[in-house]
């Protein structure tokens, strides 16, 4: 971040929190990488703050596992309803810490339409609840030449380092000509599950179902069957 007087680092270059022990560190990005880095920093004695600018889903590993198993037999909207209800109850106190979940989409639909994976909580939430990790709003600006950061709510704080855990997004819509045959503007399939794998003019995609290896296998099988069907028609 231009003008910041401290250390700046992308998550791809992060190793562990040892070098930040006793320091104030701002983590930009509240996805899985950002949350896990925040926890690791805390475990190494750093004072971590995580920037949260918008809503996102927080779930446990068990909820994700249950949801993925159910997706084999149940429509996504029903799985979303069940998992979202479980998460809403389990993490019902998060709004008071500045963390809100998307109101209109469950975790699996949100992933399939926006590419944003729900946060799988591995202990970060407990540190937020205890006050060991702070949640802060979006960054308004950095006071040039200093370690001061001003946030959207008008508050300012000093940090020794800023770590960017802004993640990776699908870039298919940036390099695939006529991507509209299969992808939306976010680089995600424009067709909803379970027909997300099929586009127009013989274009297919694999691996966008958020169902891991099992999802990739099901996509590949569906595509193979569709190709055979098209050949038989001709």
Average pLDDT of span 25-51: 96
pLDDT category at 195 given cuts 50, 70, 90 is confident
Average pLDDT of span 111-121: 85
pLDDT category at 184 given cuts 50, 70, 90 is confident
**Mean of the per-residue pLDDT values for the chain?**
89
Strands (E), 113-226: 119-120, 133-136, 139-142, 148-151, 156-158, 161-164
Q: What percent of the chain has pLDDT over 90?
A: 58
Average pLDDT of span 194-203: 84
CATH 3.50.50.60 domain range(s) in the chain: 7-56+120-164
Say if CB 140 and CB 151 are below 8 A apart.
yes
Residue 120: closest CA among 170, 164, 68, 172: 68
Classify 7-56+120-164 by CATH class. Answer: alpha beta
pTM score, whole prediction: 0.73
pLDDT tens digit string along 154-167?
A: 999 999 999 999 86
């Amino acid at each position: 971040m231009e003008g910041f007087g401290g250390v700046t680092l992308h998550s791809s270059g992060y190793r562990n929190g040892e070098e930040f022990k006793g320091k104030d560190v701002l983590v930009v990005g509240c996805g899985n990488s950002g949350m896990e880095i925040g926890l690791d920093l805390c475990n190494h004695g750093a004072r971590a703050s995580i920037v949260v600018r918008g809503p996102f889903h927080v779930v446990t590993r068990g909820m994700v596992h249950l949801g993925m198993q159910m997706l084999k037999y149940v429509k996504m909207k029903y799985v979303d309803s069940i998992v979202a209800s479980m998460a809403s109850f389990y993490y019902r106190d998060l709004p008071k810490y500045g963390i809100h979940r998307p109101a209109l989409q469950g975790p699996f639909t949100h992933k399939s339409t926006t590419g944003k994976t729900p946060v799988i909580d591995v202990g970060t939430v407990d540190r937020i609840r205890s006050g060991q990790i702070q949640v802060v709003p979006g960054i308004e600006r950095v006071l040039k030449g200093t370690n001061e950061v001003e946030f959207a709510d008008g508050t300012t704080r000093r940090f020794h380092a800023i770590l960017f855990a802004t993640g990776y997004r699908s870039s298919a819509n940036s390099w695939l000509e006529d991507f509209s045959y299969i992808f939306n503007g976010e680089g995600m399939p424009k067709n909803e599950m379970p027909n997300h794998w099929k586009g127009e003019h013989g274009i297919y995609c694999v691996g966008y179902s958020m169902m891991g290896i099992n999802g990739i296998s099901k996509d590949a099988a569906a595509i193979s069957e569709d190709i055979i069907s098209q050949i038989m028609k001709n």
